[in-house]
Amino acid sequence: MDYLLKNESRFFRLGSYDPIELAGMIATEALTLGSARVIIQSDGEWLTVTADQDWLHNREQAFSTITPFPQAGVNSMLVEILAVAFSAGVATATREEAKLIKGDRTVPAPGVDPNAGRTVSFMRRRGSPPLH
């Protein structure tokens, strides 16, 4: 995590964490890894990426370590770890289970579509401007 935090400018086009850009990066992953339908939703505090398939099937380490993403190119990585590093909260769910990856359990995560293959929700970093 220290490496990610110290090198924020390497991961985002404008050099700093952008939750909307990150949602797009996660959606691109889902499409690249076989999802046919991907939706990005915002409720102001949370951004949620929902897909018809579990694009992270057997790759739960994507939330805890830099994980190679060879399908997107030689130097690519799965970006869920960026949500953990830069967001105030992260939750994920599949048809089998829901997990709070980071955050305070008293802050409710957005609702999850039980028919989705996977959702990844992340809360904007504290102190960042609200999402529109």
pLDDT digits (tens, 9 = 90+) for 20-75: 999 999 999 999 999 999 999 998 889 999 999 999 998 989 999 999 999 999 99
Q: With beta carbons less than 8 A apart as the criterion, state whether 55 and 71 touch.
A: no
CB 90 within 8 A of CB 63: yes
What would the two tokens of residue 51 be?
A: 């897909």
Which residue is it, tokens 């609702």?
Answer: 111
Alpha helix (H) residue ranges in 13-110: 19-32, 80-86
Give the pLDDT band (50/70/90) at residue 114: confident
Three-class secondary structure of residue 107 per DSSP: coil
CB 21 within 8 A of CB 13: yes
pLDDT at 98: 87
Average pLDDT over residues 111-118: 82
